[in-house]
Amino acid sequence: MAEAKTGSKKASGKAGAADSTSSKRSAKSSKTTTSGARKSAPKKPAETAAAKKNADEGQAASKPAPKQPATETSLENVQLPATSGKAGVFGGPKDRGIKPDDKLGLPTGQHFVYERVRSLNPKSFYCSMRFDLHIEHKSPEEGKRWWANKRILVTNPANGLAVVARAVDIGPHENTGHDIGLSPGAAEALGIEPGAEVEIAFADQKAPLGPVSKEE
């Protein structure tokens, strides 16, 4: 009788363990099915559109506002440092007042690079003045680019000769007493020596460099 009871208890224990294992498996299967159902549940179109709209608005708010293009400054809005004054001569390989590595104050070369003063052709037509770089709506560097290669009309009032020269440098220094610096070629075409009085104005920006005929 004792052996029968013991066998009955063992059988009952095994059956209970089997039922418990089956129950756990069933619960796990049910949990997996529910989780899968949650993951595979499609989003509602309205919720998706609203979420996309909010994301787009958030990105738009985080982006800086585009810069407005700067208005091009006209010649009428800028004044020359002087409309008349004394002229000096500078540049070229024979200019002993400059160092070999001294660069021009305006970025006049290709792609607005700063050329060396000694690289200037003394027979060409260029000039320098103490240009004001603080132009409205422009940084000093942008001001340099604005002045670079601007056509300047220089006239010798004593004989009426005139030349068109391009702006390449900032100067001459105030200590020189000169209001404009000219290339040797420009000074020769005007028939002047350093210290001579000249008249200064903006030229037609499409005018060729060099002497201006009296008919013009």
Q: For residue 67, tell me if it sits in a domain.
A: no
196 shares its domain with 109: yes
191 shares its domain with 101: yes
Q: For residue 53, tell me if it sits in a domain.
A: no
Q: For residue 144, tell me if it sits in a domain.
A: yes
122 shares its domain with 185: yes
23 shares its domain with 85: no
Domain count, the chain: 2
| Rounded Cα gap, residues 73 and 59, in angstroms | 35
Q: Which domain range does residue 86 map to?
A: 79-211
Q: pLDDT tens-digit profile of 94-120?
A: 788 888 889 999 998 778 899 899 889
Q: For residue 74, tell me if it sits in a domain.
A: no
23 shares its domain with 101: no
Residues in the chain: 216
**CB 179: neighbour CB atoms within 10 A?**
21
Q: For residue 140, tell me if it sits in a domain.
A: yes
Q: Which of 149, 161, 135 is nearest to 213 (CA)?
A: 161
Mean per-residue pLDDT, 70-93:
88
Biggest distance spanned by C-alpha atoms of the chain:
147
120 shares its domain with 190: yes
CATH number, domain at 105? 2.40.40.10
2 shares its domain with 105: no
What contacts 195, CB < 8 A, 6 or more positions away? 86, 87, 88, 177, 178
Q: For residue 162, tell me if it sits in a domain.
A: yes
Confidence of residue 63 (pLDDT cuts 50, 70, 90): low
Tell me what percent of the residues of the chain surpass a pLDDT of 90: 51
Q: Which two tokens stand for residue 112?
A: 């607005």
97 shares its domain with 194: yes
85 shares its domain with 25: no
Q: For residue 72, tell me if it sits in a domain.
A: no
Q: Which of 99, 97, 75 is nearest to 178 (CA)?
A: 97
Give the model's pLDDT for residue 112: 82
| Rounded Cα gap, residues 57 and 181, in angstroms | 57
94 shares its domain with 163: yes
Q: Mean pLDDT check: name the lowest of 17-26, 43-52, 128-137, 144-153.
A: 17-26
Give the model's pLDDT for residue 92: 78
Confidence of residue 154 (pLDDT cuts 50, 70, 90): very high
| Rounded Cα gap, residues 52 and 181, in angstroms | 64
Confidence of residue 30 (pLDDT cuts 50, 70, 90): very low
Full-model pTM: 0.66
Confidence of residue 215 (pLDDT cuts 50, 70, 90): low
Give the model's pLDDT for residue 58: 57
98 shares its domain with 195: yes
92 shares its domain with 167: yes
Q: For residue 194, tell me if it sits in a domain.
A: yes
Query: Residue 61 pLDDT more than 60?
Result: no
